[in-house]
A and B are shown apart, each in its own frame.
Chain A
Amino acid sequence: NAGVTQTPKFQVLKTGQSMTLQCAQDMNHNSMYWYRQDPGMGLRLIYYSASEGTTDKGEVPNGYNVSRLNKREFSLRLESAAPSQTSVYFCAIIPWDTEAFFGQGTRLTVV
């Protein structure tokens, strides 16, 4: 039982390049989330998906797009990476009444 699997773990991009962060869960949970973590800023919500087929913006959605491909998978895409998107990204499933399950994180550097 892997829980939440997130890939890749590390990535270096040049400004303007695109990439997709993949997230898959095997916990059959409806809601999935993408957060970014920057020093001193805690975890900030980028996008979330309350259920298959729906996505909504979070606190910091600019520069990102998401796809909820099916119940298991929720991907985050950077169409044209910028240095301000250098961060650590976490995918998560967060039931309201139990613990959250996070992916291992993706450390992204945009140069």
Chain B
Amino acid sequence: AQKVTQAQTEISVVEKEDVTLDCVYETRDTTYYLFWYKQPPSGELVFLIRRNSFDEQNEISGRYSWNFQKSTSSFNFTITASQVVDSAVYFCALSEYGGSYIPTFGRGTSLIVHP
């Protein structure tokens, strides 16, 4: 069975600090996708990134970067020089290929960035 664990329920930082949100997953499938979503205080869910199981290259998008390591089943998300606008709940998710398709979400990490 697939599982996503976000052990950090809440992280509080001061603006300009770097912060890493952890995501650990479990799956028996060799083909799968991992995702990160952001939910700002306004409540909508915003897609950030998708990574397939065959591509372990790290990705950087502005102040955001993602570190995918199959050896540790982790897909961690780092925000560099955090800003108040980064305050949100962040969800990691996993989808497996084939079979009865039910994507699994982690419980989310609430990031609070103080000015």
Contact = CB atoms under 8 A, between A and B. Distances in A.
Nearest to A99: B47
B73 interface: no
Contacts of A88: 43
B55 interface: no
Contacts of B103: 94, 96, 100
The size class of the interface chain A forms with chain B is 20 to 34
Given A43-B91, A58-B102, A97 B47 contact: no
Interface string A34-67: 0100001111010010100000101000000000
A31 interface: yes
B101 A100 contact: no
Given A94-B95, A98-B50, A100-B37, A45 B102 contact: yes
Nearest to B109: A42
Contacts of B95: 94, 96-97
Contacts of B37: 100
A96 B97 contact: yes
B108 A100 contact: no
B101 A42 contact: no
Contacts of B45: 90, 100, 102
Interface string A62-98: 0000000000000000000000000010100010111
9 contacts: A31-B101, A42-B108, A58-B102, A88-B43, A96-B33, A97-B50, A99-B35, A100-B45, A105-B43
